Amino acid sequence: MDDIKSSEAKGFDNPVSDMKLDMLGRQPLMQQVYAHLTNLEPGWSVRVGLLAPWGGGKTTVCDWIVNQAKVDGHIPIQYSPWSTKTDAELWHGLYEKLLKGVPDNCLEVKRTGLGKLKFWGSSASRHKVISQLSDAHQISQASLGAVQSIFSISKKDIQELTANLSKDKRILVIIDDLDRVEKALIPRFLLSLRDLMDLDRFSFLLPFDDEIISHALEGYGGTQEYGNNFLDKILDYRVHIPSAPEEKILKLFQSEIEKYCEFAALDDYGALKDYLPSNPRKLKALVRSLRVYEQEAVRHKNDEIDWNVVFFGQMLRIESEKFFRLFVDDTFYKKGEVSKFDTSGVSPWMSTIINRDNGGEKKEKERIESLLDVANITDRLKRERVISLCEFLRRSYGYSKANVISYAFKLIDNPETLTWGEFDNIWGDWKKNKKIQKVSDALNQLAKRIQISNDDMASEFINTLTQKYGEFLHLASSVTLSSEHEHAIKQSKEILLLIGSIIENGVSNTDRAHILSVSNFEKVLEQPLRWIHFNGNDLDKKHRREEVELLKKWVKKAKEYGLSSQLYRYLMGLSLENQIFSEKQKLSKELYSELQEVLDHSLCQSVIEVFEKQNGIIGIMPHDAGVGVKGILLNADSEFWQTTEDNSSLGFKTLEKAATNASVQKNALDCLDLIRKASNEGVQEIQAKEAQEIFKTPQIIEALWDAAIATPLQFRRLSETRKTRKYLISMGVDEGRLKCPNWLTVGSEPESDKRVK
């Protein structure tokens, strides 16, 4: 393996220079072309076309011919006019190669005159001579005679290049990449070169894509027939490089993977056989594209990535990067979301499978066709290939493994924050030594490696811990033997122990409040809620209590970091949403109450915090936000608004701070907007008709209004605030209760009060 790597260390796309490494069976073809070039009478010349599409192996075969020619004593001269833009540049490059190529092959030139040609002068004079070649002659005259007049070179001079060659030796001129020259130059160059190709003991090999050259000649002659006839006049032989058989393509692919992508463990090469690119260069491009996954392979466990899916994804990308992006977005991303994979398990092709009998497959094909149209793929063969690749993935992975496809496809642009392989390393180390600092160090190192914040890495670790915890609990519920059940519970206890250590000690270089946030608490709470009713034996009962104690520990620690209000509102929301229809729901509600008692918090406190927080009311405006808080705020009979013995209420006392607390004033103004919205549309926990009841307690509206105008507002808010006042009046609030300071009337015009909604 090392010998192969060292001999082919040039790179993926380089031609195979050693025939011993030929895997596509092209040595016989090379020998055939070589015989056409060398097995000739001394006075003959020959022109051979080596024809194949881009990446079909033309350069590889040419390199083998060059190597063989050197061994046999012939003089190979290779010329690639790829970058040339003018006729003059084409000729200059060719003659320079000829005049330098012979001495470079250790064959002396007899006459010294050849070394004194005009174009060996200064750079300025050479440029002038080259320009003359294009300017002085019409293309129809641009034959060897035209070159002679500019360079003072004759056919005899060129023939002298072969004077020291043995009679059985030849000069082999290989003009590669002719199909990459400016199209307009190709017919002119071939016309001009035709005379030169008749030189004794010169053999010319022209490797090119015959479709491209034919199109160029069509443009020159006007018809496709002209292009074919033209090549017939120029070439003595046409040798087509055939497409390699599937088994040889598969063998080459397997060899390339073993050389350059050993990390990609394929379980079945045969599944790829019918879909691999038949073009060798495209095949190597596929392997090259896979190397970007090497780091991800290191991060993952061996069975964590389905490499067959990765290969098919990369084949789609090679066909069209634009289509691949469109396909992945349309198939796997959440609709209307940016950069968010849909992990719900729903995808268009799953719908296709479910609705197979109702035209599902036809709709799926139409979907792919429309994406091909958007990607501007018009070539029939390419469209068919792309459709077949998509179909193979859908048929092979079907309904149950859509997540396998999406996971593999997102690796490049959206690599996992924490892989199971990385998690297992940290988890295994924790079980051995129970040192939270080692966990912290490992997480910090991973965060640095993939360049994300330590806070985000810690949150991802907690999320992964809870997933692992769920796996152990599922195992405990499904095993047969008591010993297996005990082992699964023991493993889950290890997870609880680690989470408990994170609660107590945090993670180094992270914000403790971020770790103890509601979003992370929600992840930890998810699994105990799922298994809360599994308490039919002493071991499970004990474990359920340990879960509750861990959650209470989290709540207590979160309270220390000022997170009581957020957690309380979250738990209250769960309580309000929970309808008691089952034992599981009853136990869940009891758990919420127990955790709320630990917080020693109330919704009234949460409402006060909302008023005193910048943009607090705006934060609970969305339909699914502020559960519980909005219910208290919009209920005139709630504890927040009820008058106490001192003839006041928590709500009124809070609003009295508006003159000295800008947040309270701003939130009071926003609260009036919330009341207006709830009265017209309703909110999550209260209907519009119920919300309108608050207007029957006008002192609440008056208190909110007084707080909203406690200090002058900037002029851009005046018109909007006046409209709010008019709305309140239209809802039955006495105008006299709603003060209108002079600053509020600036820029206003007298208007009649109307019921505004």
- Structure confidence by residue, pLDDT tens digits, 75-84: 899 888 877 7
pLDDT at 121 over 60: no
Question: Average pLDDT for residues 498-525, to the nearest whole number?
Answer: 94
Alpha-carbon separation of residue 464 from 131, 422, 426, 535 (angstroms): 70, 11, 11, 25
384 vs 331 pLDDT, higher one? 384
648 vs 148 pLDDT, higher one? 648
Mean pLDDT, the chain, rounded, equals 81
CB-based contact 486:474 (threshold 8 Å)? no
Question: Average pLDDT for residues 151-159, to the nearest whole number?
Answer: 58
Q: Chain centroid to CA 312: how far?
A: 15
Question: Average pLDDT for residues 339-366, to the nearest whole number?
Answer: 66
Alpha-carbon separation of residue 746 from 204, 398, 665, 707, 737 (angstroms): 92, 67, 20, 19, 20
Least-confidence region, from 210-214, 344-348, 737-741: 344-348
Q: Residue 47 is inside which H or E element, if any?
A: strand 46-51
> Where along the chain do its domains lie?
26-240, 246-409, 417-601, 617-757
pLDDT band at 114 (very low <50, low <70, confident <90, very high): very low
> What value does the CA radius of gyration of the chain take, rounded to a whole number of Å?
40
pLDDT band at 524 (very low <50, low <70, confident <90, very high): very high
SS3 at position 117: coil
Q: What pLDDT shows up at residue 271?
A: 73
Instruction: Please name every residue paired with 606 in a beta bridge, in sequence order, or none if there are none.
Output: none
For 88-108, what is each residue's pLDDT tens digit? 777 778 877 877 776 665 555
Question: Average pLDDT for residues 323-329, to the nearest whole number?
Answer: 88
pLDDT at 754 over 80: no
SS3 at position 40: coil
Structure tokens at 705: 């209004």
Q: Rounded CA gap, 243 and 499, in Å? A: 59
pLDDT at 720 over 80: yes
CB-based contact 58:213 (threshold 8 Å)? no
pLDDT band at 259 (very low <50, low <70, confident <90, very high): confident
Place of tokens 């019921």: 755
pLDDT at 743 over 90: yes
Length of the chain: 757
Question: Average pLDDT for residues 145-154, to the nearest whole number?
Answer: 48
For 625-674, what is each residue's pLDDT tens digit? 777 788 888 988 888 898 766 667 889 999 999 999 999 999 999 999 99
Nearest alpha-carbon partner for 516 in 465, 589, 567: 567
Q: What pLDDT shows up at residue 423?
A: 93
Q: What pLDDT shows up at residue 221?
A: 62
Question: Average pLDDT for residues 508-524, to the nearest whole number?
Answer: 94
Q: Rounded CA gap, 58 and 69, in Å? A: 16
Would residue 600 be called left, alpha or beta, if left means φ above 0 and alpha means ψ between -120 and 50 degrees? Answer: left
Nearest alpha-carbon partner for 129 in 117, 141, 119: 119
Place of tokens 């396998």: 404
User: How large a percentage of the chain has pLDDT more than 90?
Assistant: 33
pLDDT at 578 over 60: yes
pLDDT at 261 over 70: yes
pLDDT at 71 over 70: yes
Q: What pLDDT shows up at residue 464?
A: 93
Question: Average pLDDT for residues 547-567, to the nearest whole number?
Answer: 89
Nearest alpha-carbon partner for 304 in 343, 273, 345, 263: 263
Structure tokens at 728: 């309140």
Structure tokens at 532: 């809360």
Q: What pLDDT shows up at residue 157?
A: 63
324 vs 158 pLDDT, higher one? 324
156 vs 200 pLDDT, higher one? 200
Q: What DSSP assignment string belongs to 656-725?
A: GGGGT-HHHHHHHHHHHHHHHHHHHH-BTTB-HHHHGGGGGSHHHHHHHHHHHTSSPPPGGGHHHHHHHH
pLDDT at 387 over 80: yes
Question: Average pLDDT for residues 295-319, to the nearest whole number?
Answer: 85
pLDDT band at 150 (very low <50, low <70, confident <90, very high): very low
Nearest alpha-carbon partner for 131 in 173, 89, 70: 89
pLDDT at 298 over 80: yes
pLDDT at 311 over 70: yes
Look at strands 75-79 and 46-51 and give their pairing. Answer: unpaired
Q: What pLDDT shows up at residue 260?
A: 82
Q: What pLDDT shows up at residue 270?
A: 72
The CATH number of domain 26-240, selected from 1.10.357.10, 3.40.50.300, 3.40.47.10, 3.40.630.30:
3.40.50.300
Q: How many C-alpha atoms does 88 have within 13 Å on its Cβ side?
A: 15
Q: What pLDDT shows up at residue 491?
A: 93
pLDDT band at 716 (very low <50, low <70, confident <90, very high): confident
Question: Average pLDDT for residues 35-49, to the nearest whole number?
Answer: 86
Q: Which residues contact 225 (CB under 8 A, 6 or more apart)?
A: none
Structure tokens at 190: 């071939």
Question: Average pLDDT for residues 145-174, to the nearest whole number?
Answer: 66
Question: Average pLDDT for residues 544-555, to the nearest whole number?
Answer: 94
pLDDT band at 1 (very low <50, low <70, confident <90, very high): very low
CB-based contact 682:629 (threshold 8 Å)? no
Q: At what angle do helices 307-319 and 280-290 cross, to 10 degrees?
A: 120
Nearest alpha-carbon partner for 348 in 406, 293, 435: 406
Nearest alpha-carbon partner for 50 in 174, 188, 201: 174
CB-based contact 65:30 (threshold 8 Å)? yes
Structure tokens at 389: 């690749």
Alpha-carbon separation of residue 275 from 168, 306, 310, 508, 726 (angstroms): 47, 17, 13, 49, 71
User: How large a percentage of the chain has pLDDT more than 70?
Assistant: 81
Question: Average pLDDT for residues 37-41, to the nearest whole number?
Answer: 87
pLDDT at 441 over 90: yes
Phi, psi angle pair for 477, to nearest 5°: -80, -15
